[in-house]
Structure 1
Amino acid sequence: MAARPETARKVLLYWMDGMIALAALMFVGGAWGLIAKDQISVPHAVAGAGCAVAFCAVFPFMLRDAYQERPTPVAKLIVSGLLTAVTLALLPYGAGLDQPFLAWDLVGPLWLSAAVLFLPWQATVAFGVLEIAAVIPYTRGITWMPWAASLALQVGSAILIPVSMWLWLWLWRTIKEAHDSQEAKASLAVSEERLRFARDLHDLLGHSLSVIALKSELAAKLATKDAGRAAAEMASVRHLAGESLTEVRAAVEGYQMLDLEAELAGVRAALEAAGARCTIEASAADLSPAARALLAWVVREGATNVLKHSTATRIAIRIDGGVLEMRNDGLAGPVSGQGSGLRGLSERIAGAGGSLSAAPTDGGEFLLRAAVPA
């Protein structure tokens, strides 16, 4: 799903890698242009462009540290800061040049954009002021742009690029927190259901098993003294055990009887939270409770498979009478067969006189279809 944090992280990082690679090409191209116009020596240009490219090579590693929430990469920040300073010193922006050196003014703001991911904002602001102060002597020497406009460009870059980088990181962390929140809610729901089931079993069996234990102990003591009374106690034990077994079976059957409307609402919420659009058309008012429960199990299993194994962005659920069709557009590659969940569900539905199928359609979708006796 598009909302999964790992997918969002890869998209953001690859996009920024592409921007950094483009900046590196601009550095090399700018240095070559200065060499071609005899405005800078070849060793000078190679040294400056080499430092700029080395900075671009370190930058993606700092980004990945930030997106992995690792400790602050002090060494990488220091190395990239030194490379930035050397680049600014070796590759002049103005001062006697009749054309600008492309992308020169990106080095400082790019380093600030990495620093803002790890350092307190006060430190980042201080470094930003130092960076702007360092380039003012160069901006005074330019000939192709008014000094005030050049300074405004430097200040704007020193603000906008770091803020944009911080916003990208904030966006990814927001997506990750939302995803973690959904997982935590699902885990909490499972834990609460387990506690409720354990509590119900304790209420059902606790008293009965205690009485059975006492009566069995009494019967054992009476076996050599009063065989008739011991037999009566054991008959009582057998009766209590039968009642307890009936109560447990009723409780388990009650847990297995899912509510179709509640399941549809829960599935819609889960799929939409995962970034997919879910549409539901259900007409099942005339179905028997058993048929509604079977279809609810199909809805749950189908949604689980979509979340686990699919990249679907659109899911359509349609129930007409005793027939359920669940379509999604997340089919990618050949389908190897039904999993254990669908296999068990198919056997269960077949035992009730229905049928279940799961297969790709001619339109490139995946269709899960179940038909149960109404």
Structure 2
Amino acid sequence: MATRPETAKKILIYWMDGMVLLMGIAFVATIAVAAQMSMIGWVGAAASITCLTVVLVMFSLILRDAFDNRPRPTVKLLVSGVAVVAVLLLPMPRDGSFMTWEVVAYLWLSVVLLHLPFWATALMGTALVTAITVMQTGHGGPWQAVLLIQLSGAVLMPLAMWSWRWLWWTIRDAHDSQAAKSRLAVAEERLRFARDLHDLLGHSLSVITLKSELAAKLATKDAAKAAAEMADVRRLTGESLTEVQLAVDGYRSLDLDEELARARAVLEAAGTRCVVEAGTGELPPAARALLAWVVREGATNVLKHSSASRCSITFADGVLEMRNDGVHGTNISAVNGTPNGAGSGLRGLAERMTAAGGAFSAGPVRDGEFVLRARVPA
């Protein structure tokens, strides 16, 4: 499934393709009408249609090449430029009752801006405006009015194209920033856990290793000292186990309000709008701890397995509900008390809630959303 930035890119490019296609149809129809009215010959009309087709097709191809970055000028850009010159030089209806063909030159200039620096594009645009103004003035009309019209086209079309691509770059950079924030949050949590684990067990395991080696050396020389060293090893092992249990209990003793606030912050940092409506102040501590685990695992599930744009967390009548609109992939695994086929996190939640006398379910619903519900014991 395509990501949201990829979908936005396709929409922007296909929208531009549609506009170019409509422009091409209008050009071809105009040339055909002019040939039918004997304003230009059929050979000249065919040549004009061919050159216009080359310009418009090359425009779409060049746009795709230059949409993600600023490439160096290519053969496509040169071929398109030659076709533009041909369009301007070939016989066209120019009595004012038909559309102006100069828009093709400024369409080409707009993709030149995506390849060349601004100063180079400005020089090329100046040359185009000067040449087209001279040609138009030769067909009659005040040169001041012609120059103003050409300047407007030479400025507005490249500016519109630059803004079009800038919009895509903004969408892409925003998505990359959100993904980086999510990766950073995961890395910080891993670092915190690794640091805590090192502080708890690093020293104790080192001492246990040394005393075990000493006891092994004393076993054949001084059995009493060896037994004393092993007693110390047994004591240190018990203390380390107690410290680990206390640490695990600390991780398990979650605060519901903190988890709700953390879930909203993390989801919104990842680009998912999160609304929390949960009045949980009167819940007993055991129920609050259960729901805190539900919120944590539910938020993790949204981050890892969905592309949700919105998520709501509500609590009413003893039921906490998390609903998001990013159903796909692993996110749609159903869990209903007996979590067959579900991920280990959801399976663990179901087992925890069932053991405490509550109820748990998670899965997609008909309106295309993923809903997680947890009912705490009465």
TM superposition score category, shorter chain reference: 0.7 to 0.9
> 1:368 corresponds to which residue?
372
Is 1:89–2:89 an aligned residue pair?
Answer: yes
User: One-letter code of the match for 2:97?
Assistant: Q
In structure 2, the partner of 1:263 is 259
2:240 is equivalent to residue 236 of structure 1 = no
Aligned-residue offset at 1:63:
1.5
**Pairwise CA distance, 1:220:** 1.1
What is aligned with 1:114?
111
CA deviation string 1:105-135 (max 9, x = no partner): 2211111111111210001111111111121
CA–CA separation in structure 2 for the residues paired with 1:206 and 1:276: 39
- Per-residue deviation, residues 179-232 of structure 1 (Å, max 9, x unmatched): 111111221222222222222111111211121112112211221122122112
SS for the counterpart of 1:140 is helix
Q: CA deviation at 1:279?
A: 2.1
CA contact (8 A) 2:319 2:375 kept: yes
Question: Which ranges of structure 2 fall in alignment gaps of 5 or more residues?
Answer: 336-341
C-alpha contact 1:2 1:275 (8 A) present in aligned 2: no
Between 1:270-279 and 1:110-119, the stretch displaced more is: 270-279
3-state SS of 1:284 partner = coil
The equivalent of 1:24 in structure 2 is 24
Superposition deviation, residue 89 in structure 1? 1.4
Contact 1:3 / 1:175 at 8 angstroms: preserved in 2? no
Cα distance in structure 1, aligned partners of 2:262 and 2:2: 20
| Alpha-carbon distance in structure 1 between the residues aligned to 2:227 and 2:49 | 99
Q: How many residues align?
A: 370
CA 258–157 in structure 1, closer or farther in 2 if over 3 Å, else same: farther
| 2:277 match: secondary structure | strand
* CA apart distance, 1:277: 3.9
Q: For 1:263-290, what per-residue CA distance to the aligned partner results, in whole angstroms no more than 9, with x for missing partners?
A: 3334334444555543211111233444
* 1:357–1:106 distance in 2 versus 1, CA, 3 Å: same
- 1:296 is aligned, of 292, 295, 298, to 292
Q: Using the alignment, how far apart are the partners of 1:141 and 1:169 within structure 2?
A: 36
Structure-2 residue corresponding to 1:212 = 208
TM-score scaled by length of structure 2:
0.87
SS in 2 for 1:286: coil
Q: Write the mapping of 1:178-189 to structure 2, written as runs, cut at 5 A.
A: 178-189=174-185
Change (3 A) 1:331 1:233: closer
- For each residue in 1:283-330, what CA deviation from the matched residue of structure 2 results, as whole angstroms up to 9, or x when unmatched? 112334443343233334434444555565443221136420123455
Change (3 A) 1:282 1:109: same
In structure 2, relative to structure 1, the CA distance for the partners of 1:342 and 1:237 (3 Å cut) is same
Instruction: Give the root-mean-square deviation of aligned CA atoms.
Output: 2.9
Kept after mapping to 2: 8 A contact 1:23/1:103? no
Which residues of structure 1 form unaligned runs of 5+?
none
The CA distance in 2 between the partners of 1:231 and 1:321, in whole Å, is 60
Map of 1:68 onto structure 2? 68
**TM-score, structure 1 as length reference:** 0.88
Partner of 2:339: none
Higher relative contact order (CA 8 A, sep 6+): 1
The equivalent of 2:97 in structure 1 is 99
In 2, the alpha carbon distance for the partners of 1:196 and 1:211 equals 23
Separation of aligned partners in 2, 1:309 and 1:91: 60
The CA deviation at 1:148 is: 3.8
| Partner-residue secondary structure (3-state), 1:44 | helix
Q: Which residue of 1 aligns with 2:194?
A: 198
Identity across matched positions, percent:
56
The CA distance in 2 between the partners of 1:362 and 1:234, in whole Å, is: 63
Letter in 2 for 1:68: D
